[in-house]
Amino acid sequence: MSQASPSAQPAGTLSLERLRADVAAILHEDPAEILDDDNLIDLGLDSIRAMALVTRWREAGADVEFAELAERAELAHWWRLIQRSLERGRPDEAAE
């Protein structure tokens, strides 16, 4: 069976706070200690962990690439990218 993390939420429920919780969990940090503009690489995030986060968020509906996130490793930047991807991914809803 798969292991559920404390921050696990149903697919499609991405939020800035979920991103923060996911990053904190993978870094073994308190989410309150990770600020929107912190450099996540300085906090210990490496490429393997970042790719794991990308996979998790893609499974939840975000259409983002590792390279996009690697350009600027900050939660606020990542959330803007994910928000845009989620908005692009709703053409059927806009057509109704």
Average pLDDT over residues 42-61: 96
Confidence at residue 12, expressed as pLDDT on a 0 to 100 scale: 52
Q: Please report, for the chain, the start and end positions of each structural domain, with discontinuous segments joined by +.
A: 16-89
Q: Could you report the per-residue pLDDT of 37-46, keeping only the tens digit for each?
A: 999 999 999 9
**End-to-end C-alpha distance for the chain, whole angstroms:** 38
> pTM here?
0.79
Separation CA 96–CA 94 (nearest Å)? 6
**Token pair of 39, please?**
């450099």
Confidence at residue 13, expressed as pLDDT on a 0 to 100 scale: 85
Rounded (10°) CA dihedral 24, 8, 82, 74: 0
Q: Could you report the per-residue pLDDT of 1-13, keeping only the tens digit for each?
A: 333 344 444 445 8
Instruction: Give the architecture-level CATH label for domain 16-89.
Output: Orthogonal Bundle (1.10)
Nearby residues of 31 by Cβ (< 8 Å), 6 or more positions away: 17, 20, 21, 23, 24
Separation CA 70–CA 10 (nearest Å)? 25
